[in-house]
């Protein structure tokens, strides 16, 4: 069984997430390039408040740029750095996805917390279903607005449940956001 990392790890793309998940049980936020959206930055801010964040980007100019943008918008993130020589494939391409599992373990073990815990009651999958956010005529609109209120982005139904769980949305935050959503609709 893979070890769970408490913090959410900011990476550049899907291949980076795939590589990390081969080594750890981990949640990631993908920036999808160096033009980091405001919505992505809000997700990172929320993750920092609830779980902590580790930034692990490619050891190149675009990766450094992403790191700087995220760090400026969300101060206090932890930083894990891959050595360039250990993040190259056979053709010389550089990226997190090219690092070996041992290299990834070494750079992340230097910064991650080894506990996953909370005393606060968290939102469950059933609570999401009970809020009529999946299926139905208004579900998509309600889900998108609630995602904005909770600062988890505007995901589809399947991703919404995953993000609520990954970002450790508390029942108090959930009730407050649902109340605001209902007030906006009346």
DSSP string covering 120-171, please?
Answer: S-B--HHHHHHTT-SSSTTHHHHHHHHHHHHTS----HHHHHHHHHHTT-BH
Contacts of 146 (CB under 8 A, 6+ apart): 131, 133, 177, 178, 181
Around 53, how many Cα atoms within 13 Å sit in the side-chain half-sphere?
28
pLDDT at 138: 86
pLDDT at 116: 47
In this structure, which long-range contacts are made by residues 85-88, counting pairs with CB atoms below 8 Å and at least 24 apart in sequence?
87/58, 87/59
| Total number of domains in the chain | 2
CATH number for the domain spanning 47: value is 3.40.1360.10
Residues 97 and 148 in one domain: no
**Chain segment 119-178, per-residue pLDDT in tens:** 667 888 888 888 888 887 788 888 888 888 887 777 788 888 877 877 778 888 899 999
Domain of 169, in residue numbers: 125-184
Bridge partner residues of 25 (DSSP): 4
**pLDDT beyond 70 at 38:** yes
Q: Does residue 114 lie in a domain region?
A: no
Q: Which two tokens stand for residue 94?
A: 């550089």
Q: What is the pTM of this model?
A: 0.75
pLDDT at 113: 64
Categorize the per-residue pLDDT at 115 as very low, low, confident or very high, splitting at 50, 70 and 90: very low
Q: Does residue 21 lie in a domain region?
A: yes
pLDDT at 34: 84
Closest to 86 measured CA to CA, from 53, 58, 55: 58
Segment 32-42 shows an average pLDDT of: 92
**pLDDT beyond 60 at 67:** yes
Longest dimension (CA), the chain: 60
Cα(60)–Cα(84) distance, rounded to whole angstroms?
Answer: 8
């Amino acid at each position: 069984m893979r070890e769970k990392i408490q913090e959410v790890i900011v990476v550049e793309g899907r291949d980076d997430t795939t590589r990390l998940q081969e080594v750890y049980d981990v949640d990631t936020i993908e920036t999808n390039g160096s033009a980091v959206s405001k919505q992505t930055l809000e997700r990172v801010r929320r993750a920092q408040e609830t779980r902590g964040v580790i930034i692990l980007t490619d050891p190149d100019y675009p990766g450094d740029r992403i790191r700087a943008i995220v760090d400026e918008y969300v101060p206090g993130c932890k930083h894990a750095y891959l050595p360039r020589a250990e993040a190259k494939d056979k053709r010389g391409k550089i990226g997190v996805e090219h690092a070996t599992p041992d290299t990834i373990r070494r750079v992340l073990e230097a910064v991650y917390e080894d506990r996953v815990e909370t005393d606060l009651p968290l939102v469950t999958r059933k609570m999401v279903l009970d809020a009529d956010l999946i299926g139905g005529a208004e579900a998509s609109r309600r889900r998108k607005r609630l995602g904005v209120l909770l600062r988890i982005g505007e995901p589809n139904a399947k991703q919404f449940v995953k993000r609520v769980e990954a970002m450790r949305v508390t029942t108090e935050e959930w009730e407050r956001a649902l109340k605001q959503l209902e007030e906006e609709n009346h």
